Structure 1
Amino acid sequence: MTEDQNINLIFAIGALVLVGSALFSRRLGLGEIIRSILGWLAIFALFIVGFSYQTEIRAIWSRVSGELTGSNDQQIVGETLRIRQSADGHFWINGVVNGTPIRFLIDSGATTTAMTLSVAEAANVDISSSPFPVILSTANGSVEAKRATIQNLQVGPMIARDLPIVVAQEFGGSNVIGMNFLSKLQSWRVEGNEMILEPPSSSLAQ
């Protein structure tokens, strides 16, 4: 825990002691005292957990609300697309794959754009029937993926056609825009808490 978390924990324990003292001073029955103490313990436990994991909770809320509302603070300014950093520290974007809205994580560390198998199938992505998988190294170990092609991917004002990608159900529910898309742009950069994507002078289409 950080110093601030330790201080808050001390205050929480102190408050719990005060509550316990008040309960005993009211001469309540033992059963009622135990129920009251357990109730307050649960309240303080939720407070401590919420405070300790506030960053993670905000990140989860940001992702869930983005999925539900389709909003992730992206804005088209002129010919550029500006994306505000999410609470989890990443940049998420709403793309359209073959007419189907899909939420992507922008990952400059990923060589190739990737989608989960179920999402790719729902968006009618052209998935290779080759029996030979692509072996990828991920944070969770090696993953067998299939080659595929997005016929039409729109991200803000930019459109890529026949974009090679990989698909696998083991990608953990995240669809990723990788460098094979970003490298086609005129430029992309991060300024403060915003990522700025600038389209090329010519079409992204291959």
Structure 2
Amino acid sequence: MSGDRAMDIVYYGLILLLPLGALAARRIPIGQTLRMALIWIGIFGAAFLVIAQRDRLASLWSREAMPDGIMRIPVAEDGHFYATVRINGVERRMLIDSGATTTALSEATARAAGLDLNESPFGSLIETANGRVTASHVTIAELTIGPIRLRDIGADVSPNFGDQDIIGMNVLKRLRSWRVERGLLVLNATP
């Protein structure tokens, strides 16, 4: 057990002593004292759970888009940020990756969104985390993330991307700002 964990246990034990001491000073019968003690333990246990899980609970009400052009996205269990994005009206769950230069789409997503895979006559050779791949360049007419609506977004499409669609810096830099605070990615597109 770490020193911080031991101090937490001591701290919560001392917190419980306060109501128990008050009950003992009033000389209430032992049965009633035990019942009240269990109620207090339940109250403190519930408060402890709420405080310990406050980041998860905050994500429940902050997940939805705000009407003022701000989108708050909670961090996923794997430590990444994923957003529900509409590409020309087609909904997809996309990874938001500030390390990616451009937006990358799977062939399935590009086809579902009606993108022209022959828009550019020449494929591009691009560097990815998994090495160099050949990709086709396409233009997304409309991309929306909650209340944020962007037009004419460039993207790369390749079968080597697999099924994971990625929002890259070419989208993030078109926003007014973006930041990470307390486990939330905040996208701001207000004028």
Band the TM-score falls in, shorter-chain normalisation = 0.5 to 0.7
Residue number among 83, 86, 94 corresponding to 2:84 in the alignment = 94
Q: CA shift at 1:200, angstroms?
A: 4.0
Aligned equivalents of 1:93 and 1:122: distance in 2?
18
TM-score, normalized by length of structure 1?
0.60
Does the CA-based 8 Å contact 2:66-2:147 persist in structure 1? no
Contact 1:74-1:93 at 8 Å conserved across structures: no
* Coordinate RMSD, CA, aligned: 1.7
Structure 2 stretches of 5 or more lacking a match? 1-59
For 1:43-54, list aligned pairs within 5 A: none
The structure 1 residue matched to 2:100, chosen from 93, 104, 110, is 110
Residue 127 (structure 1) shift: 2.5
Q: Does structure 1 retain, via aligned residues, the 8 Å contact 2:117–2:138?
A: yes
Equivalenced residues, count? 130
- SS of the aligned residue for 1:181 comes to helix
1:152 positional shift: 1.0
The residue number in structure 2 matching 1:136 is 126
Answer yes or no: is the 8 Å Cα contact 1:76–1:156 preserved in 2. yes
Partner residue of 2:65?
A: 76
1:173 pairs with 148, 160, 163, which one? Answer: 163
For 2:65, the aligned partner's letter is I
4+ residue stretches of structure 1 with deviation over 6 A?
Answer: none
Aligned to 2:146: 156
Provide the rounded CA distance (Å) in 2 between the counterparts of 1:169 and 1:185: 28
Alpha-carbon shift at residue 128 of structure 1 (Å): 3.1
Higher relative contact order (CA 8 A, sep 6+): 2
Residue aligned with 1:118, SS: helix
